[in-house]
Structure 1
Amino acid sequence: MATDTLGEGAASACVDAGGGAIGLPQLCPDWMGNQIVWLVIALIVIFFILSRIALPRIAAVLAERQGTITNDLAAAEDLKEKASDAEDAYNKALADARAQAQEIIAEAKAEINAELEEATQKADAEIAAKAAEGEKAIADIRANAMESVKEVAKDTAKELVAAMGVKADARTVTSAVNSRLKG
């Protein structure tokens, strides 16, 4: 009990005559030294426990987290660089594909124009050949028409001469018709 530490018959301001505490015993100035000693001992024990066990573990966890964060940042930077390189390669490939498409389009246009020019020349040649054939046919028809006109003129002249009662030979009629047709 509290009175045992004070000795027999000693009275304390914190203990009543029956040996019970008056007020809060923690605030009793007679016991304050004893409480401070135990407080210091408890703090020293807590400090050693924290510094030897808890703080190294916390420091290890913090160092591990810092390492993980640093590694993750380095990996993210590397991935960012790779993504940038991939984007550059994609843009280059896209530009190359567009250029190649333009070349293919230009080649196709040139090929189509060449085929069109060839077809146009072939059609022009066919048209010229048909026109020449048409002109030849017209010339033949004209020549035949002139021959037919000569024949009709000869026959008509022979009939007219015969109708007049004169007999004309074929040679005379032919020379008369030919001289008249010439002008």
Structure 2
Amino acid sequence: MPQLDFDNPLLIAQVVWLLIIFGLLYYVLSTYALPRVESVLEERRARIAADLGAAQAAKAEADAAMAAHREATAKARAEAQSAIASAMQQAQAEAAARSEELNRRLAQQIQEAEQRIAAARDAAMGALRQVSTETAESLVAKLAGRADRTPVTAAVDRALAARGQA
């Protein structure tokens, strides 16, 4: 390397100037430039730390808001379930009352229908007795020439009693 030619008398002068320039450059950088860079770096570090603190505070606030939202949602859901249950109970009570009223009316209608059926059956049985008696009397009159109403009526009554329709 030609720069390190130790036989050259200028080599010592170049090394001295190198040390002087390096010392001067080191002094200028350490006195003026590096403190400014350090202050910028420190300011940046402080700003980042402040931003991180603000972000953590915002996260804590958001977490608190989310917890409050969840609590409000759970409370609203519980109130809605309670209202639904109350409405269901009320509807069931109304349905039971209506059903009971309907059953009462139906039972009354059934009883009235049974009474009408019994009255119609009694009327039909009376008409059957009369028709049977008249038919038997007419047959006996055609066969025997004359018919007595009392024995014919007694025979019809016995026949109906035997059938269980008396």
TM-score, with length taken from structure 2? 0.66
Q: Which structure has the larger Rg over C-alpha atoms?
A: 1
Counterpart residue number, 1:98: 77
Aligned residue in 1 for 2:106 = 127
Q: 1:24 to 1:106 in 2, by over 3 A?
A: closer
3-state SS of 1:95 partner: helix
Aligned length: 151
Aligned counterpart in structure 1 of residue 18 of structure 2, from 33, 39, 60: 39
Deviation string 1:39-96 (CA, Å, 9 cap, x unpaired) is 3421332123212331122012101211121012102211221222123123213322
- What 5-or-longer segments of structure 1 have no aligned partner? 1-22
Relative to 1, partners in 2 of residues 1:129 and 1:91: Cα closer, same or farther, differing over 3 Å? Answer: same
Name 2:39's counterpart in structure 1. Answer: 60
Q: CA RMSD in A?
A: 3.5
Q: Which runs of 5+ in 2 are unaligned?
A: 159-165
**65-74 or 149-158, larger mean C-alpha shift:** 149-158
CA contact (8 A) 2:5 2:11 kept: yes
- TM-superposed deviation, 1:117: 0.7
1:163-182 paired onto structure 2 within 5 Å? 164=146
- The equivalent of 2:27 in structure 1 is 48
* Structure 2 residue aligned with 1:77: 56
